[in-house]
Amino acid sequence: MFERGHFINGRETPGISGRYSEIMDPTKGVAQGRVALASIDEVDAAVASAVAAFPSWSSVNPQRRARVMFKFKDLLEKDMENLARLISAEHGKVLADARGDVQRGLEVIEFACGIPHLQKGEYTESAGTGIDVYSMRQPLGVGVGITPFNFPAMIPMWMFGVAIACGNTFICKPSERDPSAPLRLAELLLEAGAPEGVLNVLNGDKEAVEALIAHRDVSAVSFVGSSDIAQSIYSACAARGKRVQAFGGAKNHLIVLPDADLENAANQLIGGAFGSAGERCMATPVAVPVGDDTAEKLIDLLKPRIEKLKIGHPFDDDSDVGPLVSRQHLDRVRGYIDMGVREGADLVVDGREMKLQGHEDGYYLGGSLFDRVTPDMTSYKDEIFGPVLQVVRAPDFETAVRLPSEHQYGNGVAIFTRNGAAAREFAARVNVGMVGVNIPIPVPLSFYSFGGWKRSGFGDTNQHGSEGVRFWTKMKTVTQRWPNDVMESSYAMPIMD
C-alpha cells in the first residue's frame, strides 16, 4: 500500500486532514494505496504558495518561461513510459492508450513553448495625431484546474501548460481515483526550472473544490467533468466574478452515409467506441447509419469485431481494452445496458457477463452493441461513458443532421462518406462544437482549441490553442501621446483625427 499527499510550494507533503480516499487497482478490485483529501487549511496553503510565486513568475520574460516549457517537454518525453504505467495502474486504460494520454498533453506543452509569440499584443502607430495605441496580454494571477479521472495527464497539461506559460501560477485538483500522474508532472515541471509554488497539486474531494472556487485569491477556474457539476461550477464562479470555463459530458454521434467505406467505418467505430473502455468525452458511443441497408451491413461488420475485442490487463500489450475505473462505475454502465434492454433496444452483443480469468474481481466489462435505439430512450439521452455502442438508424441525411444537433450534448460528431459536398454541408449545419470527417475522434491539434457546445461546455472560451491564451490572460490597452506643448482642456469626447 502506498500513500499520496499533495505537492505544495515545490515539495510533496503528506496530508494533515486525517481524511483519505482509497486508490483502487481496477484489475483486481482491491485497494493498492490511499490519497490524502485536503482540508481547508491545505487549500489555503496551496493558494498562498501560488500567490507568493506569482509576482516573480509573471515578471519573468516570455522567452525564459518558454525555456522552462522546452525543458519540461524534454523531461516528459524521457519519463513517458513511467507516466504511462502510473496511469494504467490506477485508471486501467491499456499502456498504448496511456502513452497517448501523455502525448496529447505533451503537444499542448509544445504549443506553449511558443508563448513569446502567442502572448504578443498589438501596436498602431499614429492612430490619431501624435497618438499611438498598443495592447498587451497580462496573466490573471492564480488559476485552478479541476480535472477528471479519465485523462490524468493530458487534461492537467491542457490547462496548466498554457496558464503557466502565460505567467500565471496554478493549482491542479485532480481526481482522487488516479492522483499519481499529476503529482509526477509537478515534480518534472519543478525539475524543468519552474520556481516553487508555480504549480501545486492539491488532492481532495468536494470540500477542496468548493474552497478553491470560493477563495478570494483564485482568479480563474477550468473544469472538466460531468455536465451537472460543470454547470454548478460555472454558476458559482460567475457569481464570484471569476473567469471560468467548465466542460461537461458528451454523447458523440458517428454518421455513416450509404456511400461510405463500411469496412473503414466499422474499424474506426470500434476504436472510437471501445478505446479506453469508452471512458472518453470524445468517444463515439452512437452510430447513425443512414438507411436500413447501410445499418444491416454495418451491424454485420461490427458484431464480430466487438465479440473479438481482447479485454485484458492494461500492462498486456495484446489487450485492446482494460477494466473500468471503479466498481461504482462498472455497476453504473451495467445498469445502462439493463435499461437499454428494458426500453426495447435490440442487444446484439452483451458484454455484461465478461470475466477475466485470474481477475474475476476486477472491473472488467465486455463490449456491448445495441441496435434500433430511438431518441426517446433514456439510455440514448444520457452519457453512459462505458464500452457500449448504440445504433440509431436514420432514414435520410436530414435526420442524421438533426439527431446530434438536437441532443443535449454537443461535444463532438463525425461523418463517414466519400461525398465531399455532403460532408461540407454536414460540418456547416450540425449544432456541435467539434466535427470529424472520416475521423472518429475529432480532438483538435494543440494549436487549435478544444470545446463543445450546449451542455458539453459552459463559458466563452475553449481549452488550449489561441483560445487558451485568451482565457488565461487579460487584455490591457494603452493609448499614449507625448505632446511637445501644453494642450488646452477639451470637454468633447476625444476622437482620433
**Number of other CB atoms surrounding residue 114 within 10 Å:** 15
Q: Cβ–Cβ contacts within 10 Å for residue 131, how many? A: 17
Catalytic residue among 113, 172, 237, 281: 281
Assigned C-alpha cell, 162? 498554457
- CB atoms < 10 A from the CB of 327, how many? 14
In the numeric block, which cell numbers belong to residue 108? 499542448
* Known catalytic membership, residue 166: no
Residue 366: closest CA among 397, 402, 321? 321
- Backbone φ/ψ region at 433: left (φ over 0), alpha (ψ -120 to 50), beta: alpha
Amino acid, single-letter form, for residue 88 = S
**3-class SS letters over 325-370:** CCHHHHHHHHHHHHHHHHHCCEEEECCCCCCCCCCCCCCCCCCEEE
Number of alpha carbons in the 13 Å side-chain half-sphere of residue 61: 2
| DSSP, res 116 | H
Give me the amino acid identity at 428: A
C-alpha cell at 349: 452483443
Q: Which positions are annotated as active-site residues?
A: 281
